[in-house]
Amino acid sequence: MSQISIDELLGYVKKADYTWIILGMFLGLLSHLSRAYRWQFQLEPMGYKIRIANSVMAVFATYLINYTIPRAGEVARASILTNYEDVPFEKGFGTIVAERIADMIVMIGIISVTLFLQFDFIYGFLVEKFNPTKIIIGLFGLVFILLFFALFIKSSKSKIALRIKNFVNGLIEGALSIFKMKKKWAFIFHTLFIWGMYVLMFYVTSFSLDEIQNIPFTAILIGFIAASFSIAATNGGIGSYPEAIVLAFLLFNIPEDPSRAFGWIMWASQTLMIIILGGLSLIYLPIYNRNKQPRKV
């Protein structure tokens, strides 16, 4: 696979229509604000009513910290609630696990819709590239290890095992908060809204380059799925995000250079927003909570 030169990339960036890029950034902002607001629905059943400003800043801080160590932002997000809202870490982290489960369900739905629209094409590609037998054996092995570990912890009476049990119980309580919510439908609406904004920001940003404006919507969905997995597997998708889009778009014979340029524009625009808002959040959090004594964990 060829790589685009800096000069060629800058050429695409210069001629891009920034109206669509800014609109994409705005839709991304709406999704993040919705995520922060949705979090309150999960914490209320456990008796915690957090300030929306702390929730918003915790979410943006999460995304920024994930650029350093993958998934470290989720730990930091729960810690922020512990420090400034007195929410026990394990319960706050449990709600994050619950929302990730909800997000995963929506992602599975998006993948299912994409498979329905392009089943023969995608199935043939996956069979060609991956060994289904190895994947199944690996999953069974992982389940066996997890079950063995769970049984060992359950039967053990050591202090470490008891601490793990208490931590897991807190996680479970946080994860089950989704079933105790009075505002279940609001939670579902915001979950669908968040992912709707994700797909829409990806779609509208594609209009910024003339070379990829007429690609099929299924290509957009596959590109979005590939890009999402690249973010989950790396530090915010650094370097891998554009390449994931190129691989997805190549399936539809879309030229590499504009695909890669679109990937960099998409990643850079959202990253810029996260760096600015995430950085401001980390700076302003202690200022906003200056009258609140941080809780020691």
Give, for all 297 residues of the chain, the pLDDT tens digit. Answer: 457 788 888 999 999 999 999 999 999 999 999 999 999 988 888 888 899 999 999 999 999 998 888 778 889 999 999 999 989 888 888 888 888 888 888 888 888 888 777 666 555 555 555 555 665 676 678 788 878 777 777 777 777 777 777 767 666 665 566 666 778 888 889 999 999 999 999 999 999 998 887 888 888 998 999 898 888 777 778 888 999 999 889 888 888 889 999 999 999 999 999 999 999 999 999 999 988 754 444
Contact assessment for residue 202 and residue 266, using Cβ atoms and an 8 Å cutoff:
yes
Contact assessment for residue 215 and residue 249, using Cβ atoms and an 8 Å cutoff:
yes
* DSSP state string for 121-164: HHHHHHHHHS-HHHHHHHHHHHHHHHHHHHHHHHH--SHHHHHH
Q: What is the pLDDT of residue 42?
A: 85
Could you tell me how many helices (H) and strands (E) the chain has, helices first? 13, 0
One-letter amino acid of 219: A
Q: What is the pLDDT of residue 296?
A: 44
Q: Can you give the pTM of this predicted structure?
A: 0.79
Q: What is the pLDDT of residue 271?
A: 94
CA Rg value for the chain: 21
Report the alpha-carbon distance of residue 164 to residue 156 in Å, rounded.
11
HEC assignment per residue over 97-119: HHHHHHHHHHHHHHHHHHHHHCH
Task: Work out the mean pLDDT of the chain and round it to a whole number.
Answer: 84
The Cβ-side half-sphere exposure at 224, using a 13 Å CA radius, reads: 24
- pLDDT tens by residue, 14-66: 999 999 999 999 999 999 999 999 999 888 888 888 999 999 999 999 999 98
Q: What is the pLDDT of residue 209?
A: 93
Q: What is the pLDDT of residue 205?
A: 94
Report the alpha-carbon distance of residue 242 to residue 237 in Å, rounded.
8
Q: What is the pLDDT of residue 102?
A: 85
